[in-house]
Amino acid sequence: MMSVRSAELLMTLCMAALSGYFMYEAAKLPVGWIEDEGPGGGFWPFWLSMMMLVSCVWTGINWLRKHTKVSQSTEKYFAPGVLVDVGVVALALFVTIALFDGIGPIPGIGVYGALPLFLFFYLRVLGKHSWTLTLICTFSIPVITFLFFEIALKITLPKGISEPLFYPLFKFFFS
């Protein structure tokens, strides 16, 4: 079984590789300041990825020097039974994403139908949280998500078969 120390190194290497890939992709767009326009299209992704890469290098140095408690730990990374819990959450996320747009000929229920189902399952069934917290989160998070993405950012999310229910809202906010 993997130790905490080994897991830290593995994660550091994966994040560093991901940072490099993000920087490579962002560099396909201007990453500097464009006069009379502002930052280029790749500016934020490139420089944020650069900061992530620097953090990975620093974490790697600390790992080599065994400077932190994590980099010295020889404990097992996963406790027995944890992988089952992670697998259940991963499966729930997979089902949730499949419900967004549907699978093949089966229509999806959209983000605003699937998200409350996932939140309910995660909070009440897996987390065993109170009904109050579960219901508040199950109903408020999709509303906040709608207002943030659809109204504030004007980014449409998949609505599946529930899309006609949103027409009055769009008419209210955009007319």
Residue 47 lies in a domain: yes
For residue 80, what pLDDT band results from cuts at 50, 70 and 90?
A: confident
Average pLDDT over residues 62-77: 92
Choosing from 72, 106, 131, the residue where a domain stops is: 72
- Check whether residue 35 and residue 90 sit in a common domain: no
How far apart CA 20 and CA 14 sit, in angstroms, is: 10
User: Which residues have a Cβ under 8 Å from the Cβ of 104 and sit 6 or more positions away?
Assistant: none
Q: What is the domain range of residue 16?
A: 4-72
- Check whether residue 25 and residue 45 sit in a common domain: yes
Write down the mean pLDDT value for the chain. Answer: 93
pTM of the model: 0.65
For residue 78, what pLDDT band results from cuts at 50, 70 and 90?
A: confident
pLDDT of 1 > 80? The answer is: no
Residue 22 lies in a domain: yes
Domains of the chain: total: 2
For residue 101, what pLDDT band results from cuts at 50, 70 and 90?
A: confident
For residue 69, what pLDDT band results from cuts at 50, 70 and 90?
A: very high
pLDDT at 119 (0 to 100): 97
- Check whether residue 96 and residue 158 sit in a common domain: yes
- Check whether residue 95 and residue 131 sit in a common domain: yes
pLDDT at 81 (0 to 100): 80
pLDDT at 82 (0 to 100): 84
Choosing from 54, 72, 90, the residue where a domain stops is: 72
- Check whether residue 66 and residue 109 sit in a common domain: no
Encode pLDDT of 119-164 as tens digits.
999 999 999 999 999 999 999 999 999 999 998 888 889 998 989 9
pLDDT of 79 > 90? The answer is: no
Residue 67 sits at φ, ψ, to 5 deg, of -85, -20
- Check whether residue 66 and residue 87 sit in a common domain: no
pLDDT at 153 (0 to 100): 83
- Check whether residue 51 and residue 107 sit in a common domain: no
Residue 77 lies in a domain: no
Return the closest-CA partner of residue 40 out of 27, 21, 52: 27
Average pLDDT over residues 99-121: 91
User: Which residues have a Cβ under 8 Å from the Cβ of 13 and sit 6 or more positions away?
Assistant: 56, 60
pLDDT at 175 (0 to 100): 80
pLDDT of 20 > 90? The answer is: yes
- Check whether residue 63 and residue 109 sit in a common domain: no
